[in-house]
Amino acid sequence: MKEFFRRRKTSFTTGEQSESNQVPDDMWVKCSSCRELVYKKELNDGLKVCPKCGHHMRMSAHEWLGLLDAGSFSETDANLLPTDPLGFVSLDESYTEKLAKAQQRTGMPDAVLAGIGTIHGGRLAFAAGDFAFMGSSMGSVYGEKMSRAAERAADLGIPLLTINTSGGARQQEGVIALMQMAKVTMALTRLAEAGQPHISLMVDPCYGGVTASYASVADVIIAEPGANIGFAGKRLKLAHFAKTIQY
């Protein structure tokens, strides 16, 4: 008798669906906050803010171009490519291999997309990090693109908007990565001398050397609602971190 009430998968089979009834999987996204299904187009039209609960989902650097006037963006410094100055090899793979995988996955040469665009017709320099590229860690290319964006804004007499998400300095570039903190901050000094503002938008997650340097050196700092922002996250496991580095 118990078997009679047991719910079986086959009980729910409705036979073959016609093609017109099938909903493609990628049309809907589950909100990571309210767990509601959201129509993907509606989500993207609203720059990935959940229409049900207002949760701000993570965006790629290219998706952040949605802040700019349509068609106004022209990319700069697209030809800057990362190198492996230390010949860094961790236990599982080399930095060169890691970079190649990240480049293939994201279609970006490194973690920053920079250029010039307009918002409501106002011209500005734009530079955005992409967390999908090695946690948007700040290496030499990241720092150089941010610095050049600031210098270009100073030269052109326009504001700078940076969109900042990062796990911190890129450990595979060692001290060269740490130097970027000072380099970008110096470039921002030139922007300040030119009388132009730096607007820093800090989005989820924003940690380490990025928070500790240029992202906090701004005339206007905007934090995305609910974003994790800090220096070291509570999930950082130093013992594990040390083990993954082979000297």
- Which of 53, 81, 182, 232 touches Zn ion (CB under 5 A)? 53
Whole-angstrom Cα distance, residue 47 to residue 62? 11
Interface stretch with Zn ion, choices 26-34, 79-87, 98-106, 150-158 (CB under 5 A) = 26-34
Return the range that interacts with Zn ion (CB under 5 A); candidates 12-20, 31-39, 40-48, 238-246.
31-39
Which residue of 28, 40, 49, 55 would you call a contact of Zn ion, by CB under 5 A? Answer: 55
Please classify residue 32 by burial: count the beta carbons closer than 10 Å to its beta carbon, then call 0-12 exposed, 13-18 middle and 19+ buried: exposed
Residue 52 engages Zn ion in binding (rule: CB under 5 A): yes
Which residues does 24 contact at the CB level (< 8 Å), separation at least 6?
none
**Binding residues for Zn ion, total number by CB under 5 A:** 7
Nearer to Zn ion, 55 or 190 (CB): 55
Q: Exposed/middle/buried for 103, CB within 10 Å: 0-12, 13-18, 19+?
A: middle
* Spatial contact of 124 and 158, defined as CB atoms under 8 Å apart: yes
Instruction: Indicate the pairing of strand 160-166 with strand 220-223.
Output: unpaired
Quote the tokens at residue 139: 């290496």
Per CB under 5 A, does 30 bind Zn ion?
Answer: no
Binding piece for Zn ion, criterion CB under 5 A, among 5-13, 49-57, 134-142, 186-194 = 49-57
Is residue 34 near Zn ion by the rule CB under 5 A?
yes
Q: Which stretch binds Zn ion (CB under 5 A): 48-56, 118-126, 134-142, 207-215?
A: 48-56
49 binds Zn ion per the rule CB under 5 A:
no
Residue 243 touching Zn ion (CB under 5 A): no
C-beta closer to Zn ion: residue 38 or 111: 38
29, 43, 50, 177: which one binds Zn ion (CB under 5 A) = 50
Q: Which residue has the tokens 């190649």?
A: 100
The smaller minimum CB distance to Zn ion, of residues 54 and 157, is found at 54
- Burial label for 137, CB within 10 Å (0-12, 13-18, 19+), is buried
> Does 210 participate in binding Zn ion (rule CB under 5 A)?
no
Structure tokens at 135: 């946690």
Contact window for Zn ion (CB under 5 A) among 20-28, 42-50, 158-166, 180-188 = 42-50
User: 37-60 burial by CB neighbour count: b if 16+ within 10 A, else e?
Assistant: ebeeeebeeeebbbeeeebbbbbb
* Residue 31 vs 199, nearer CB to Zn ion: 31
Cα dihedral angle (219, 221, 222, 227), rounded to 10 degrees? 170
Binding site for Zn ion (CB under 5 A): 31, 33-34, 50, 52-53, 55
